[in-house]
Amino acid sequence: MDKFIINGKQKLSGKITVSGAKNSALKIIAATILLKEPVTISNVPDLMDVRTMQKVLEKLGATVEYCKDSSTMKIDPSTINSYRAPYELVKTMRASFQVMGPLLARFGNAEISLPGGCNFGPRPVDFHLKAFEQMGATITTEHGYICAKAEKLIGNHIYFDFPSVGATENVIMAASLTEGVTIIENAAKEPEVVDLVNFLKLCGAKIQGEGTGRVRIEGVKELQARDFTVLSDRIEAGTFVLASLVTNSPLEIVGAPISALEVFLEKLRLCGHEFEVHQHSLVVKPSPNPKAIKFTALPHPGFPTDLQAPMTAYLSTVEGTSLATEGVYENRFVYISELNRMGASIELDGNKAYISGQEQLSGAQVMASDLRAGAALVIAALGAEGTTEINRVYHIDRGYDDLVGKLSDVGANIQRVKR
Protein backbone atom coordinates (compact mmCIF):
# COMPACT_ATOMS: atom_id res chain seq x y z
CA MET A 1 0.00 0.00 0.00
CA ASP A 2 1.43 3.36 -1.08
CA LYS A 3 1.68 6.31 1.26
CA PHE A 4 2.11 10.09 0.95
CA ILE A 5 4.86 11.98 2.76
CA ILE A 6 4.08 15.67 3.16
CA ASN A 7 6.34 18.33 4.66
CA GLY A 8 3.95 21.09 5.63
CA LYS A 9 4.11 24.88 5.75
CA GLN A 10 5.44 25.27 2.19
CA LYS A 11 4.04 28.29 0.32
CA LEU A 12 2.12 27.41 -2.85
CA SER A 13 1.93 29.55 -5.99
CA GLY A 14 0.82 29.44 -9.60
CA LYS A 15 -1.96 27.63 -11.43
CA ILE A 16 -3.51 24.26 -10.68
CA THR A 17 -5.92 22.60 -13.11
CA VAL A 18 -9.12 20.78 -12.24
CA SER A 19 -9.91 17.43 -13.93
CA GLY A 20 -13.29 16.06 -15.00
CA ALA A 21 -15.83 15.26 -12.30
CA LYS A 22 -15.59 11.71 -10.96
CA ASN A 23 -19.22 11.59 -9.92
CA SER A 24 -20.38 12.73 -13.33
CA ALA A 25 -18.00 10.60 -15.43
CA LEU A 26 -18.96 7.39 -13.62
CA LYS A 27 -22.68 7.82 -14.37
CA ILE A 28 -22.12 8.93 -17.97
CA ILE A 29 -20.00 5.82 -18.55
CA ALA A 30 -22.84 3.71 -17.06
CA ALA A 31 -25.38 5.54 -19.26
CA THR A 32 -23.60 4.42 -22.46
CA ILE A 33 -25.18 0.98 -21.80
CA LEU A 34 -28.38 2.61 -23.13
CA LEU A 35 -26.71 3.13 -26.55
CA LYS A 36 -26.17 0.75 -29.45
CA GLU A 37 -23.21 2.47 -31.12
CA PRO A 38 -19.69 3.53 -30.09
CA VAL A 39 -19.31 6.84 -28.29
CA THR A 40 -16.39 8.96 -27.02
CA ILE A 41 -16.50 10.67 -23.63
CA SER A 42 -13.92 13.45 -23.01
CA ASN A 43 -12.51 15.02 -19.83
CA VAL A 44 -12.68 11.64 -18.07
CA PRO A 45 -10.35 11.80 -15.03
CA ASP A 46 -7.68 9.14 -14.52
CA LEU A 47 -8.95 7.56 -11.30
CA MET A 48 -9.24 4.14 -9.73
CA ASP A 49 -13.04 4.46 -9.68
CA VAL A 50 -13.13 5.26 -13.40
CA ARG A 51 -10.99 2.16 -14.07
CA THR A 52 -13.41 0.11 -11.97
CA MET A 53 -16.38 1.37 -13.99
CA GLN A 54 -14.43 0.52 -17.15
CA LYS A 55 -14.01 -3.04 -15.84
CA VAL A 56 -17.73 -3.28 -15.00
CA LEU A 57 -18.62 -2.37 -18.60
CA GLU A 58 -16.02 -4.79 -19.96
CA LYS A 59 -17.49 -7.57 -17.78
CA LEU A 60 -20.84 -6.82 -19.38
CA GLY A 61 -19.23 -7.34 -22.80
CA ALA A 62 -18.60 -3.73 -23.91
CA THR A 63 -15.30 -2.71 -25.51
CA VAL A 64 -13.72 0.19 -23.62
CA GLU A 65 -10.49 2.07 -24.35
CA TYR A 66 -9.21 4.77 -22.02
CA CYS A 67 -6.55 7.20 -23.23
CA LYS A 68 -4.86 8.81 -20.23
CA ASP A 69 -3.07 11.47 -22.31
CA SER A 70 -6.23 12.85 -23.89
CA SER A 71 -8.54 11.94 -20.94
CA THR A 72 -10.94 10.29 -23.37
CA MET A 73 -12.82 7.03 -23.08
CA LYS A 74 -14.15 5.26 -26.17
CA ILE A 75 -16.95 2.85 -25.38
CA ASP A 76 -18.59 0.39 -27.76
CA PRO A 77 -21.70 -0.92 -25.96
CA SER A 78 -22.98 -2.87 -28.98
CA THR A 79 -21.27 -6.06 -27.78
CA ILE A 80 -22.87 -6.16 -24.31
CA ASN A 81 -24.00 -9.74 -23.68
CA SER A 82 -24.05 -10.09 -19.89
CA TYR A 83 -26.20 -8.36 -17.27
CA ARG A 84 -24.17 -9.24 -14.19
CA ALA A 85 -21.97 -6.80 -12.24
CA PRO A 86 -19.83 -9.08 -10.06
CA TYR A 87 -19.03 -8.86 -6.35
CA GLU A 88 -15.27 -8.26 -6.93
CA LEU A 89 -16.05 -4.95 -8.64
CA VAL A 90 -19.17 -3.73 -6.79
CA LYS A 91 -17.48 -4.31 -3.41
CA THR A 92 -14.71 -1.87 -4.37
CA MET A 93 -17.07 0.78 -5.74
CA ARG A 94 -20.72 1.29 -4.88
CA ALA A 95 -21.26 3.44 -7.98
CA SER A 96 -21.17 0.16 -9.97
CA PHE A 97 -24.80 -0.09 -8.87
CA GLN A 98 -25.59 2.68 -11.38
CA VAL A 99 -25.54 0.13 -14.21
CA MET A 100 -28.80 -1.37 -12.92
CA GLY A 101 -31.13 1.25 -14.46
CA PRO A 102 -29.55 1.21 -17.94
CA LEU A 103 -29.35 -2.62 -18.00
CA LEU A 104 -32.99 -2.99 -16.96
CA ALA A 105 -34.21 -0.47 -19.52
CA ARG A 106 -32.21 -1.86 -22.41
CA PHE A 107 -32.23 -5.62 -21.70
CA GLY A 108 -34.95 -6.14 -19.04
CA ASN A 109 -32.40 -7.87 -16.87
CA ALA A 110 -29.77 -6.88 -14.29
CA GLU A 111 -27.90 -8.82 -11.63
CA ILE A 112 -25.82 -6.59 -9.41
CA SER A 113 -23.93 -7.67 -6.33
CA LEU A 114 -25.53 -6.08 -3.27
CA PRO A 115 -23.25 -3.18 -2.21
CA GLY A 116 -22.04 -3.66 1.34
CA GLY A 117 -21.60 -1.04 4.06
CA CYS A 118 -19.08 1.72 3.72
CA ASN A 119 -16.57 3.41 5.97
CA PHE A 120 -18.97 6.17 6.83
CA GLY A 121 -21.97 4.07 7.80
CA PRO A 122 -24.83 2.30 6.06
CA ARG A 123 -25.63 3.37 2.51
CA PRO A 124 -28.70 1.41 1.42
CA VAL A 125 -30.10 1.16 -2.14
CA ASP A 126 -33.76 0.84 -1.15
CA PHE A 127 -34.86 3.99 -3.04
CA HIS A 128 -33.41 2.62 -6.29
CA LEU A 129 -35.13 -0.74 -5.86
CA LYS A 130 -38.51 0.63 -4.81
CA ALA A 131 -38.53 2.92 -7.86
CA PHE A 132 -37.69 0.08 -10.26
CA GLU A 133 -40.49 -2.00 -8.70
CA GLN A 134 -42.88 0.90 -9.22
CA MET A 135 -41.80 0.90 -12.86
CA GLY A 136 -42.72 -2.79 -13.15
CA ALA A 137 -39.51 -4.67 -12.30
CA THR A 138 -39.45 -7.77 -10.13
CA ILE A 139 -36.63 -7.66 -7.62
CA THR A 140 -35.22 -10.67 -5.80
CA THR A 141 -32.04 -11.22 -3.81
CA GLU A 142 -30.13 -14.39 -4.62
CA HIS A 143 -26.73 -15.37 -3.20
CA GLY A 144 -25.77 -11.76 -2.43
CA TYR A 145 -26.93 -10.45 -5.80
CA ILE A 146 -29.92 -8.21 -6.50
CA CYS A 147 -31.70 -9.62 -9.54
CA ALA A 148 -34.03 -7.23 -11.34
CA LYS A 149 -36.19 -8.38 -14.23
CA ALA A 150 -38.83 -6.66 -16.31
CA GLU A 151 -40.38 -7.78 -19.57
CA LYS A 152 -41.30 -4.17 -20.01
CA LEU A 153 -40.79 -1.15 -17.74
CA ILE A 154 -43.55 1.47 -17.59
CA GLY A 155 -43.18 5.11 -16.52
CA ASN A 156 -44.55 5.99 -13.08
CA HIS A 157 -44.71 8.74 -10.44
CA ILE A 158 -41.83 8.28 -8.03
CA TYR A 159 -41.26 10.07 -4.73
CA PHE A 160 -37.96 9.87 -2.84
CA ASP A 161 -37.92 10.36 0.96
CA PHE A 162 -34.48 11.97 0.56
CA PRO A 163 -33.03 13.52 -2.63
CA SER A 164 -30.65 10.64 -3.37
CA VAL A 165 -28.14 11.40 -6.11
CA GLY A 166 -27.66 7.77 -7.16
CA ALA A 167 -31.35 6.84 -7.12
CA THR A 168 -32.30 9.97 -9.11
CA GLU A 169 -29.65 9.13 -11.73
CA ASN A 170 -30.49 5.42 -11.89
CA VAL A 171 -34.19 6.17 -12.45
CA ILE A 172 -33.49 8.94 -15.00
CA MET A 173 -31.31 6.54 -17.02
CA ALA A 174 -33.92 3.75 -16.93
CA ALA A 175 -36.85 6.08 -17.63
CA SER A 176 -35.13 7.55 -20.70
CA LEU A 177 -35.78 4.28 -22.58
CA THR A 178 -39.02 3.35 -20.79
CA GLU A 179 -42.47 3.65 -22.32
CA GLY A 180 -44.60 6.43 -20.83
CA VAL A 181 -43.81 9.35 -18.54
CA THR A 182 -41.81 9.07 -15.31
CA ILE A 183 -41.92 11.89 -12.79
CA ILE A 184 -39.43 12.01 -9.93
CA GLU A 185 -40.43 14.12 -6.93
CA ASN A 186 -37.78 15.22 -4.43
CA ALA A 187 -35.12 14.50 -7.04
CA ALA A 188 -31.45 15.30 -6.37
CA LYS A 189 -30.30 18.64 -7.86
CA GLU A 190 -26.54 18.06 -7.90
CA PRO A 191 -24.58 19.47 -10.89
CA GLU A 192 -23.48 15.91 -11.73
CA VAL A 193 -27.14 14.85 -12.14
CA VAL A 194 -27.61 17.77 -14.54
CA ASP A 195 -24.46 16.77 -16.45
CA LEU A 196 -25.79 13.23 -16.89
CA VAL A 197 -29.10 14.64 -18.14
CA ASN A 198 -27.24 16.92 -20.57
CA PHE A 199 -25.55 13.84 -22.04
CA LEU A 200 -28.82 11.90 -22.27
CA LYS A 201 -30.62 14.85 -23.89
CA LEU A 202 -27.83 15.20 -26.44
CA CYS A 203 -28.46 11.52 -27.29
CA GLY A 204 -32.18 12.24 -27.79
CA ALA A 205 -33.73 11.69 -24.35
CA LYS A 206 -36.75 13.83 -23.42
CA ILE A 207 -36.10 15.17 -19.93
CA GLN A 208 -37.33 18.33 -18.20
CA GLY A 209 -36.73 19.83 -14.77
CA GLU A 210 -33.17 18.58 -14.16
CA GLY A 211 -31.52 20.60 -11.40
CA THR A 212 -34.92 21.02 -9.68
CA GLY A 213 -36.75 18.74 -7.24
CA ARG A 214 -39.18 17.55 -9.95
CA VAL A 215 -37.78 15.80 -13.02
CA ARG A 216 -40.03 14.63 -15.87
CA ILE A 217 -38.80 11.98 -18.29
CA GLU A 218 -40.75 10.93 -21.36
CA GLY A 219 -39.34 7.63 -22.58
CA VAL A 220 -38.10 7.32 -26.16
CA LYS A 221 -37.66 4.11 -28.21
CA GLU A 222 -33.97 4.60 -28.93
CA LEU A 223 -31.08 6.92 -28.06
CA GLN A 224 -28.35 7.93 -30.53
CA ALA A 225 -24.67 7.85 -29.55
CA ARG A 226 -23.29 11.40 -29.22
CA ASP A 227 -19.81 12.37 -28.00
CA PHE A 228 -19.76 14.34 -24.75
CA THR A 229 -17.38 16.27 -22.48
CA VAL A 230 -17.73 15.77 -18.70
CA LEU A 231 -17.97 18.89 -16.48
CA SER A 232 -15.13 19.81 -14.09
CA ASP A 233 -14.89 18.37 -10.61
CA ARG A 234 -16.25 20.84 -8.03
CA ILE A 235 -14.98 18.73 -5.11
CA GLU A 236 -11.43 18.60 -6.48
CA ALA A 237 -11.62 22.38 -7.13
CA GLY A 238 -12.85 22.95 -3.55
CA THR A 239 -9.99 20.84 -2.21
CA PHE A 240 -7.50 23.05 -4.09
CA VAL A 241 -9.18 26.18 -2.66
CA LEU A 242 -8.61 24.78 0.85
CA ALA A 243 -4.98 23.87 0.00
CA SER A 244 -4.47 27.52 -0.90
CA LEU A 245 -6.12 28.77 2.31
CA VAL A 246 -4.40 26.39 4.72
CA THR A 247 -1.01 27.45 3.39
CA ASN A 248 -2.07 31.12 3.17
CA SER A 249 -0.90 31.22 -0.45
CA PRO A 250 -2.81 32.69 -3.40
CA LEU A 251 -3.52 30.06 -6.10
CA GLU A 252 -5.26 30.20 -9.46
CA ILE A 253 -7.59 27.25 -9.95
CA VAL A 254 -8.06 26.67 -13.66
CA GLY A 255 -11.36 25.13 -14.76
CA ALA A 256 -13.07 25.55 -11.36
CA PRO A 257 -16.85 25.20 -11.92
CA ILE A 258 -17.75 28.44 -10.12
CA SER A 259 -21.56 28.19 -10.12
CA ALA A 260 -21.40 24.69 -8.61
CA LEU A 261 -19.19 26.02 -5.78
CA GLU A 262 -21.32 29.01 -4.74
CA VAL A 263 -22.30 27.96 -1.22
CA PHE A 264 -18.81 26.69 -0.44
CA LEU A 265 -17.22 29.97 -1.58
CA GLU A 266 -19.84 32.00 0.28
CA LYS A 267 -18.91 30.25 3.54
CA LEU A 268 -15.25 31.00 2.91
CA ARG A 269 -16.08 34.66 2.25
CA LEU A 270 -17.63 34.68 5.73
CA CYS A 271 -14.24 33.52 7.02
CA GLY A 272 -12.83 36.68 5.38
CA HIS A 273 -11.29 35.25 2.20
CA GLU A 274 -11.68 36.81 -1.22
CA PHE A 275 -12.03 35.25 -4.66
CA GLU A 276 -11.54 36.68 -8.11
CA VAL A 277 -13.76 34.99 -10.64
CA HIS A 278 -12.28 34.86 -14.14
CA GLN A 279 -13.84 33.31 -17.22
CA HIS A 280 -11.93 30.04 -16.90
CA SER A 281 -10.44 30.18 -13.44
CA LEU A 282 -10.83 31.19 -9.83
CA VAL A 283 -8.11 33.14 -8.01
CA VAL A 284 -8.02 32.51 -4.26
CA LYS A 285 -6.91 35.43 -2.08
CA PRO A 286 -6.52 34.17 1.47
CA SER A 287 -7.13 36.51 4.38
CA PRO A 288 -4.22 36.45 6.87
CA ASN A 289 -6.74 36.60 9.79
CA PRO A 290 -9.62 34.24 8.94
CA LYS A 291 -12.61 33.89 11.29
CA ALA A 292 -14.33 30.76 12.59
CA ILE A 293 -17.67 29.87 10.93
CA LYS A 294 -20.59 27.41 11.05
CA PHE A 295 -21.64 25.26 8.11
CA THR A 296 -24.02 22.37 7.46
CA ALA A 297 -23.47 19.75 4.77
CA LEU A 298 -26.73 19.24 2.88
CA PRO A 299 -27.93 18.02 -0.52
CA HIS A 300 -27.27 20.49 -3.37
CA PRO A 301 -27.55 23.49 -3.41
CA GLY A 302 -26.43 23.15 0.22
CA PHE A 303 -22.80 22.86 1.31
CA PRO A 304 -21.41 19.68 -0.35
CA THR A 305 -20.98 16.76 2.02
CA ASP A 306 -17.94 15.68 -0.02
CA LEU A 307 -16.15 18.88 1.11
CA GLN A 308 -17.23 18.56 4.75
CA ALA A 309 -14.07 16.69 5.85
CA PRO A 310 -11.52 18.89 3.97
CA MET A 311 -13.35 22.03 5.26
CA THR A 312 -13.27 20.73 8.84
CA ALA A 313 -9.53 20.06 8.47
CA TYR A 314 -9.00 23.63 7.27
CA LEU A 315 -11.16 25.15 10.04
CA SER A 316 -9.11 23.27 12.64
CA THR A 317 -6.36 25.83 11.83
CA VAL A 318 -8.64 28.89 12.12
CA GLU A 319 -8.77 30.78 15.43
CA GLY A 320 -12.07 30.50 17.34
CA THR A 321 -14.69 27.75 17.46
CA SER A 322 -16.20 26.58 14.19
CA LEU A 323 -19.13 24.19 13.87
CA ALA A 324 -19.55 21.56 11.15
CA THR A 325 -22.91 19.75 10.93
CA GLU A 326 -23.38 16.72 8.65
CA GLY A 327 -26.87 16.48 7.15
CA VAL A 328 -26.44 13.82 4.47
CA TYR A 329 -24.73 10.82 6.10
CA GLU A 330 -25.19 9.28 9.52
CA ASN A 331 -21.54 8.95 10.32
CA ARG A 332 -19.14 10.97 8.18
CA PHE A 333 -16.80 12.11 10.96
CA VAL A 334 -14.70 8.94 11.23
CA TYR A 335 -11.59 10.89 10.19
CA ILE A 336 -11.69 13.26 13.18
CA SER A 337 -9.63 11.06 15.48
CA GLU A 338 -6.84 11.17 12.86
CA LEU A 339 -7.01 14.98 12.66
CA ASN A 340 -6.86 15.17 16.46
CA ARG A 341 -3.68 13.08 16.31
CA MET A 342 -2.20 15.95 14.29
CA GLY A 343 -3.01 18.40 17.08
CA ALA A 344 -6.52 19.43 15.98
CA SER A 345 -9.06 19.90 18.76
CA ILE A 346 -12.42 18.66 17.49
CA GLU A 347 -15.24 17.32 19.65
CA LEU A 348 -18.09 15.32 18.25
CA ASP A 349 -21.69 15.47 19.39
CA GLY A 350 -23.89 13.34 17.15
CA ASN A 351 -23.81 14.87 13.68
CA LYS A 352 -22.03 18.02 14.91
CA ALA A 353 -18.30 18.64 15.16
CA TYR A 354 -17.12 21.52 17.37
CA ILE A 355 -13.77 22.66 16.03
CA SER A 356 -11.47 24.73 18.29
CA GLY A 357 -8.99 26.29 15.91
CA GLN A 358 -5.32 25.67 16.76
CA GLU A 359 -2.42 27.95 16.02
CA GLN A 360 -0.37 24.99 14.88
CA LEU A 361 -1.07 21.43 13.69
CA SER A 362 1.85 19.03 13.79
CA GLY A 363 2.78 16.33 11.31
CA ALA A 364 2.07 12.72 12.35
CA GLN A 365 1.55 9.23 10.96
CA VAL A 366 -2.11 8.99 9.98
CA MET A 367 -4.41 6.79 7.96
CA ALA A 368 -7.07 7.68 5.36
CA SER A 369 -10.36 5.91 6.13
CA ASP A 370 -12.14 6.97 2.93
CA LEU A 371 -11.65 9.26 -0.04
CA ARG A 372 -12.63 12.62 1.44
CA ALA A 373 -11.14 11.69 4.84
CA GLY A 374 -7.89 11.25 2.90
CA ALA A 375 -8.30 14.68 1.29
CA ALA A 376 -8.87 16.18 4.76
CA LEU A 377 -5.58 14.70 5.98
CA VAL A 378 -3.76 16.15 2.94
CA ILE A 379 -5.18 19.62 3.75
CA ALA A 380 -4.17 19.31 7.40
CA ALA A 381 -0.69 18.06 6.44
CA LEU A 382 -0.08 20.96 4.01
CA GLY A 383 -0.69 23.39 6.88
CA ALA A 384 1.05 21.44 9.64
CA GLU A 385 4.53 21.89 11.08
CA GLY A 386 6.79 18.95 10.21
CA THR A 387 6.24 15.73 8.31
CA THR A 388 2.99 13.83 7.90
CA GLU A 389 2.83 10.27 6.61
CA ILE A 390 -0.59 9.43 5.20
CA ASN A 391 -1.26 5.72 4.86
CA ARG A 392 -3.94 3.92 2.82
CA VAL A 393 -3.82 6.52 0.05
CA TYR A 394 -5.58 4.08 -2.29
CA HIS A 395 -8.73 5.79 -0.98
CA ILE A 396 -7.42 9.13 -2.31
CA ASP A 397 -6.50 7.55 -5.67
CA ARG A 398 -10.17 6.64 -6.13
CA GLY A 399 -11.15 10.26 -6.59
CA TYR A 400 -8.19 12.62 -7.15
CA ASP A 401 -6.38 12.58 -10.50
CA ASP A 402 -2.61 12.90 -9.89
CA LEU A 403 -3.00 14.82 -6.62
CA VAL A 404 0.71 14.50 -5.81
CA GLY A 405 1.80 15.78 -9.24
CA LYS A 406 -0.65 18.68 -9.25
CA LEU A 407 0.23 19.85 -5.70
CA SER A 408 3.98 19.43 -6.30
CA ASP A 409 3.74 21.61 -9.41
CA VAL A 410 2.45 24.53 -7.30
CA GLY A 411 5.16 24.12 -4.66
CA ALA A 412 3.89 21.57 -2.14
CA ASN A 413 6.47 19.21 -0.65
CA ILE A 414 4.55 15.96 -1.20
CA GLN A 415 5.78 12.59 -2.37
CA ARG A 416 4.24 9.22 -3.00
CA VAL A 417 6.20 6.35 -1.53
CA LYS A 418 5.45 3.08 -3.29
CA ARG A 419 5.30 -0.12 -1.31
329 binds ligand EPZ (CB under 6 A): yes
Instruction: Name the burial class of residue 162, with classes exposed (0-12), middle (13-18) and buried (19+) by CB atoms within 10 angstroms of its CB.
Output: exposed
Residue 30 C-alpha from the chain's centroid = 15
Note whether 264 binds ligand EPZ by CB under 6 A: no
Query: Residue 271 catalytic?
Result: no
The yes or no reply on residue 26 touching ligand EPZ (CB under 6 A) is yes
Residue 126 CA to residue 112 CA, distance in Å, equals 14
**Residues whose CB is less than 8 angstroms from the CB of residue 378 and which lie 6 or more positions away in sequence, other chains included:** 4, 6, 239, 243, 310, 390, 396, 403, 407, 414
User: Quick one: which of 3, 55, 106, 128 contacts ligand EPZ (CB under 6 A)?
Assistant: 128
- Regarding 234 and contact with ligand EPZ (CB under 6 A), the answer is no
Q: Which stretch binds ligand EPZ (CB under 6 A): 139-147, 158-166, 279-287, 351-359?
A: 158-166
In the complex, the smallest distance separating the C-beta of residue 217 from ligand EPZ, rounded to whole angstroms, is: 18
Q: Judged by CB, which is closer to ligand EPZ: 163, or 290?
A: 163
The overall longest dimension of the chain from CA atoms, in Å, is 63
Please answer whether residues 407 and 396 qualify as being in contact, where contact means their C-beta atoms are separated by less than 8 angstroms: no
**Rounded to the nearest whole angstrom, what is the least distance from the CB of residue 92 to ligand EPZ in the complex?**
13
Stretch that binds ligand EPZ, among 34-42, 68-76, 117-125, 359-367 (CB under 6 A): 117-125
Residue 3 is a binding residue for ligand EPZ (CB under 6 A): no
- Bridge partners, residue 417, by sequence: 3
| Residue of the chain from 4, 83, 127, 199 that contacts ligand EPZ (CB under 6 A) | 127
By CB under 6 A, is residue 371 in contact with ligand EPZ? yes
CB of 325 to ligand EPZ, least distance (A): 14
CA–CA gap between residue 150 and residue 110 (Å, rounded): 9
Taking contact as CB under 6 A, which single stretch among the options 118-126, 195-203, 268-276, 345-353 is the one that binds ligand EPZ? 118-126
Q: If binding is defined by CB under 6 A, does position 123 make contact with ligand EPZ?
A: yes
Closest CA to 212 of 180, 157, 168, 171: 168
DSSP symbol at 279: S
> Which stretch of DSSP H or E encloses residue 333?
none
Which of 118, 147, 203, 271 is an active site residue? 118
What is the nearest approach in angstroms of ligand EPZ to the Cβ of residue 125? 5
Those residues whose C-beta lies under 8 Å from the C-beta of residue 27, and which sit 6 or more positions away, are 95, 98, 169, 173, 192, 196
Binding-site size, ligand EPZ (CB under 6 A):
23
308 near ligand EPZ, judged by CB under 6 A: no
Report which DSSP code applies to 115: P
Instruction: Enumerate the active-site residues.
Output: 118
Give the interface with ligand EPZ as residue ranges (CB under 6 A): 23, 26, 94-95, 123-128, 162, 164-167, 188, 305-306, 328-329, 371-372, 399
